[in-house]
Structures are given as structure tokens and as C-alpha cells.
């Protein structure tokens, strides 16, 4: 399961659809409607938010919005929390850099055209749910050393 902090516009088609499915699974976990994935590290920041279901709803809506922009028809009725919220979850700048490098490594394997679009990106956009703070990679992240090295180099 990968729930990106990055704006969904950066995802290729496969990544966008996968994130939609994975976020729907995350929603079920956060609602207590499934036994699996309850301790998945990607869920920690949602679980620690003031209202986890509201947070994942906001997360899902932005994925759906990006999908609609691309001509996909994600089923909005699957989003359990329809309330609008100004809630923001902090994400560290190092986490953002790490995720961006991780995404580029995935795009290298499956969509080089999308990867080329990301080259030279200076300011990395985030999903509306997140606000950037200074800090190291989040404690819940499972760090891949090679990607970590590239994210540090990007920051120099």
C-alpha cells in the first residue's frame, strides 16, 4: 500500500488507479471494517489525525478529482466522509523529497514519458490534505537506501 503525499498529477495512469484502490482499502481499515492492514505504516498519519475517516475522505476526493481531469470515472459514492474539511496533516520536507524520488524510480520502470514530465521539477506539490514542515523522513516510512541517497542529493 502506498498513499502518496505528492499531488496526484504526478502519478502515471497505473499509479493513480492503484492509489485510488489502496486509499479505498485504507478507508475500510480506518472505519474498522477489515482485519487486514490495521497496522500498515502508511496509515499512521491518518490514524493520528483528529478524524481519520474525514482525512482519508479528503485524500480520496483529490484522487477522484485528478481522475476526472484525466477522463476516469472513479465512483465518488465509495467515499464515506463527504464533509468538506480544512484539516491538514504535517509531512516533512525530507519525506516529500523521498517520495518524489521513489515515484521517479517507479516511473523509470513503467512510464518514462511521465517521468520526463517530472524532470527539473523544483517545488514539489502536495495533496491538499498535507502541509509541508521541516524535518526528516517520517518514522513510519520504510526507507529504501538507494532512494534515500537520491533524495538527499536532490536537496543539495
d(CA 140, CA 16): 22
pLDDT of residue 36: 82
61 in Cβ contact with 154 (< 8 Å): no
140 assigned to some structural domain: yes
pLDDT digits (tens, 9 = 90+) for 113-155: 999 999 888 899 999 999 999 999 999 999 999 898 888 876 6
d(CA 53, CA 128): 16
pLDDT of residue 151: 84
Segments of the chain scoring below 70 in pLDDT: 154-156
Query: What is the extent of the structural domain holding 74?
Result: 8-154
pLDDT of residue 155: 61
How buried is 75 (Cβ within 10 angstroms: 0-12 exposed, 13-18 middle, 19+ buried)? exposed
2 assigned to some structural domain: no
What string of DSSP letters covers 117-142? HHTT--SPPB-TTEEEES-SS-TT--
pLDDT of residue 81: 87
Helices (H), 6-92: 13-30, 44-47, 52-69
Label the pairing between strands 130-133 and 89-92: parallel
143 assigned to some structural domain: yes
60 assigned to some structural domain: yes
d(CA 30, CA 32): 5
d(CA 26, CA 2): 10
93 assigned to some structural domain: yes
98 assigned to some structural domain: yes
Looking at the structure of the chain, the number of domains it has is 1
1 assigned to some structural domain: no
Amino acid at each position: 500500500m502506498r498513499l502518496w503525499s505528492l499531488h496526484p498529477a504526478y502519478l502515471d495512469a497505473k499509479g493513480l488507479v492503484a492509489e485510488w484502490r489502496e486509499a479505498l482499502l485504507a478507508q475500510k481499515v480506518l472505519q474498522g471494517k477489515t482485519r487486514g492492514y490495521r497496522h500498515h505504516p502508511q496509515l499512521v498519519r491518518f490514524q493520528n489525525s483528529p478524524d481519520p475517516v474525514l482525512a482519508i475522505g479528503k485524500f480520496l476526493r483529490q484522487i477522484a478529482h485528478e481522475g476526472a481531469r484525466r477522463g476516469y470515472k472513479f465512483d465518488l459514492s465509495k467515499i464515506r466522509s463527504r464533509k468538506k474539511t480544512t484539516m491538514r496533516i504535517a509531512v516533512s520536507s525530507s519525506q516529500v523529497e523521498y517520495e518524489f524520488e521513489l515515484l521517479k524510480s517507479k516511473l523509470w520502470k513503467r512510464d518514462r514519458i511521465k517521468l520526463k514530465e517530472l524532470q527539473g521539477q523544483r517545488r514539489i506539490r502536495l495533496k491538499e490534505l498535507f502541509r509541508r514542515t521541516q524535518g526528516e523522513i517520517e518514522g513510519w516510512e520504510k526507507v529504501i537506501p538507494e532512494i534515500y541517497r537520491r533524495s538527499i542529493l536532490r536537496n543539495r
